[in-house]
Amino acid sequence: LEILRTWRHLFFASPSWRRRLSPARRGRSSRRITTTRRARRRCRQSSSSSARPSSRSPGWAPRSSGCTSTTASSTYGCDGSILLDDTEDMVGEKTSQANNMSVRGFGVIDAIKTAVNTACLGNVVSCADILAVAARDSIVLGGSSYDVLLGRRDATTASMDDADNSIPNPFMDQPELLANFQSQGLSLRDLVVLSGAHTLGYSRCVFYRDRLYNETGSLDPTYAAALDERCPPAGDDEALASLDDTPTTVDTDYYQGITQGRALLHTDQQLYLGDGGDSDALVQYYAESPDKFWEDFGAAMLKLGGLSPLTGEDGEVREDCRVVNRG
């Protein structure tokens, strides 16, 4: 959900949202993921049906959450678990170390869910699918598009502990980051290109303070001085700094900054260690090739969005993205 932090437009919060979805490609999962075109047809069928709206998506299938970026994905898969509020019996993912005070935009998702349910005359589209499309459309606002596979179903539980144990944190070294991604079936290329989501947004002082004062050898002095004015050695934990020089524009400035000692987070600089390794080469490649970044970013997002989808009868289609359905 990193991208949701800077999503400023309710891009399809009206019945016209259906016309904005791109045709999707078939996934390689043995469990079927319906294409966007078919999903659109299902919504139309639901709208014209005299039957009562079903709490289950008719003929759909996968699982989503915050499976839309590199730092705040679901711990179970792409299943919308990050949207669940805490209950007496469950402490969810919103207050995990990676997400607390960072992941935002939940009210935007609520508004979209309401608009989609109105358009479809019932509870047809999962919160997981809404997250996947919202992430894509936030990127579309600043550049190219990519396909989104639809048909996910929503999780009925979430876990702060699991999120803390599995979501990458901004203090990891490159080997830890790569191992984390590989455990999900993702590659070094996926790690580098998905980190490009940091072309948008900001980070809090508490996450970049250690780099600012303990990694001066890899920081551009002018850049470090500017950060020092925002983020003192102690206090002002919430002070914000942009993740690249163009925080509201989708571009490759993020990669260019990394090669110039202007990486805000430790994990960002870990992608470019200056040792001539494969990660260095990928960062340089995307810094110089915006078109390739768009192409590979879309492919990686499609791959990320298909992690462990809930399908068939698993999970549910939540009526309210913040709570599981009753009964």
265 and 197 in a common domain: yes
Task: Using 70 as the pLDDT threshold, list the residues of the chain that sit under it.
Answer: 1-77, 141-143
Domain range for residue 108? 2-168
276 and 237 in a common domain: yes
Say if CB 65 and CB 99 are below 8 A apart. Answer: no
> Which pLDDT belongs to residue 162?
85
Tell me the binding residues for heme b: 198
Residue 274 region, left (φ>0) first, then alpha (ψ -120 to 50), else beta?
Answer: left
> Which pLDDT belongs to residue 32?
37
Q: Which residues touch 257 (CB under 8 Å, ≥6 apart)?
A: 244, 245, 263
23 and 128 in a common domain: yes
> Is the residue at 65 inside a domain?
yes
183 and 98 in a common domain: no
> Which pLDDT belongs to residue 28?
34
Q: Give the total number of structural domains in the chain.
A: 2
3-state DSSP helix/strand/coil % of the chain, to nearest 5: 45, 5, 50
Q: Which residues touch 118 (CB under 8 Å, ≥6 apart)?
A: 15
Last residue of a domain, one of 141, 168, 195: 168
At 319, give phi and psi (nearest 5°).
Answer: -80, -35
12 and 153 in a common domain: yes
45 and 22 in a common domain: yes
> Is the residue at 325 inside a domain?
no
Tell me the binding residues for Ca(2+): 77, 79, 81, 93, 199, 244, 246, 251
Report the largest interatomic distance among the alpha carbons of the chain, rounded to a whole angstrom: 67
> Which pLDDT belongs to residue 36?
43
Query: pTM score, two decimals?
Result: 0.74
Give the CATH number of the domain where residue 136 resides.
1.10.520
> Is the residue at 290 inside a domain?
yes
> Which pLDDT belongs to residue 292?
94
Say if CB 68 and CB 77 are below 8 A apart. Answer: no
142 and 26 in a common domain: yes
Per-residue pLDDT tens digits for 80-104: 999 999 999 999 999 888 787 778 8
Among residues 155, 6, 158, 154, which one has the least CA distance to residue 95? 158
Tell me the binding residues for substrate: 168
Tell me the binding residues: 77, 79, 81, 93, 168, 198-199, 244, 246, 251
The SS3 assignment for 8 reads coil
